[in-house]
Amino acid sequence: MNYKILENGVVRELTDEEQAIKENEIADHISKGFDRSLKILREKRNNLLLETDYLALSDNTMSEEMTNYRQELRDITEGLTTVEDVEAVTFPTKP
């Protein structure tokens, strides 16, 4: 997955080195329990939401499919209580 970061109001993809660091951090966190697993899930979810944020601007009309997709992403952490729950999450398909 290509991660993005918001710096000074500009979204950019992480460099290969930053990507490697992020992937190592993710692997380390997964092994340390539910809270960290949930944090990683939220980061992935937030990146997916970030990719479609421009569609939610007031001068755009979002399709029902995109509205549903974004809502499913926002709801993805509901009811998760174990690391296994988090690891079993399947992200919705972007329309």
pLDDT means per 10 residues, the chain with 95 residues, are 86 91 83 84 95 83 92 96 92 95
Q: Is residue 47 part of a domain?
A: yes
pLDDT for res 95: 92
pLDDT for res 48: 95
Q: Is residue 61 part of a domain?
A: yes
- Look up the domain containing 51 and give its range: 4-87
Q: Are 4 and 12 in contact (CB under 8 A)?
A: yes
Indicate the pTM of the whole model. 0.63
Gap between the Cα atoms of 23 and 58, Å rounded: 34
- Bridge partners (DSSP) of residue 38 are none
Q: Is residue 39 part of a domain?
A: yes
Gap between the Cα atoms of 95 and 78, Å rounded: 22
From the list 29, 46, 47, 27, the residue with the least C-alpha distance to 37 is: 29
pLDDT for res 2: 84
According to DSSP, residue 32 is labeled: T
Q: Is residue 53 part of a domain?
A: yes
Give the count of domains, the chain.
1
Q: Is residue 23 part of a domain?
A: yes
Gap between the Cα atoms of 36 and 22, Å rounded: 13
Gap between the Cα atoms of 89 and 95, Å rounded: 18
